[in-house]
């Protein structure tokens, strides 16, 4: 007789993803590595449903309480990799983010040299739904490319195009202006396949030298500064994703787990170790002493040059 517990609750990888620790794929890799235990027993397969009554631990630590579904807009600079760790040691977006943010995952990716809007969320279920091709959200880009192209050639992309055996869906593209040897385009896609914009434009004889994503579905880059991150308000997020919230299993009622910002080391007024105290500091309190009118600036003996400064002729 089949165990009812196997048909109740949710898949273990899905629960871990919604806790904001990892994507589903990453959670499945953790399970295969023996890092996940349920009710004290290490599991080796993600084919397991769990309920709120089950005790889940990751590396021996209890799985944290799921927090409210949150979404952030990030203006990704060029030169950052969209990953938590890079085998080649390149800088990543997650190291560049403020330290007080929750553990976030990206909705899709942007290439190393692609900049602009990147959606980040603490909810793995939401990330998965938003990046699915079936969701059909429009990704809009501003493109600068070397070469020349006619609007007629761009219009033909509306029927889709096959390149090197890969079929790309309908593309909306418009020629905005020419600038020297380059052209500026607006390019909109719905699938977001690997390096899609660059490959499609290369097939038209253009070489992309700047690529900026300016919108993803209803979310806009707008005036967000380079490297800045901004949270979407809960009520706005709920309204914008609409019925996708139920499909993703979003939770807008859970609490927000505040995280403390890593404090910066305050500037110290104390003298450096081994350095003589400044003569302009009072012995008590460390406050600066104002020079009296006409009083010359005193230089500590150990900082004196040992002789008069050389005189240089004034420029005529």
Q: Which residues are catalytic?
A: 111
Q: Report the b/e string of 297-316 with b at 16+ CB within 10 A.
A: eeeeeeeeeeeeeeeeeeee
Rounded Cα distance, 61 and 70, in Å: 23
Which residues face 163 on adjacent strands?
Answer: 166
**DSSP label at 13?**
H
- Rounded to 5 degrees, φ, ψ at 38 are -125, 120
DSSP letters of 70-137?
-EEEEEEPTT-BSSS--TT---BHHHHS-TTSPP-EESS---TTEEEEEEEES-HHHHHHHH-GGG--
């Amino acid at each position: 007789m089949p165990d009812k517990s196997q048909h109740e609750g949710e898949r273990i990888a899905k629960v871990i993803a919604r806790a904001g620790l990892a994507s589903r794929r990453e959670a499945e890799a953790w399970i295969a590595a023996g890092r996940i235990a349920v009710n004290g027993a290490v599991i080796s397969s993600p084919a397991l449903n769990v309920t709120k009554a089950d005790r889940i631990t990751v590396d021996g630590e209890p799985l944290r309480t799921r927090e409210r579904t949150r979404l952030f807009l990030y203006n990704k600079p060029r030169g950052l990799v969209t990953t938590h760790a890079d085998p080649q040691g390149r800088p990543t977006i997650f190291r560049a983010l403020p330290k007080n943010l929750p553990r976030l995952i990206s909705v899709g990716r942007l290439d190393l040299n692609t900049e602009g809007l990147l959606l980040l969320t603490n909810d793995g279920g939401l990330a998965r739904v938003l990046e699915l091709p079936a969701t059909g959200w429009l990704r809009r880009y501003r493109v600068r490319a070397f070469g020349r192209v006619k609007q007629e050639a761009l219009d033909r992309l509306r029927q889709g195009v096959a390149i090197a055996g890969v079929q790309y869906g309908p593309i909306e593209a418009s020629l905005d202006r020419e600038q020297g040897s380059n052209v500026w385009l607006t390019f909109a896609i719905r699938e977001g396949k690997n390096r899609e914009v660059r490959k499609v434009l290369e097939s038209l004889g253009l070489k992309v030298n700047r690529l900026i994503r300016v919108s993803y579905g209803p979310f806009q880059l707008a005036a967000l500064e380079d490297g800045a991150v901004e949270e979407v308000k809960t009520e706005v997020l709920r309204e914008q994703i609409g019925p996708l919230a139920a499909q993703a299993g979003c939770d807008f009622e859970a609490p927000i787990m505040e995280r403390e910002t890593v404090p910066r080391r305050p500037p110290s007024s104390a003298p450096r170790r081994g350095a003589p105290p400044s003569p302009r500091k009072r012995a008590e309190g460390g406050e600066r002493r104002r020079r009296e009118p006409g009083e010359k600036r005193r230089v500590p003996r150990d900082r004196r040059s040992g002789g008069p400064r050389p005189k240089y002729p004034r420029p005529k």
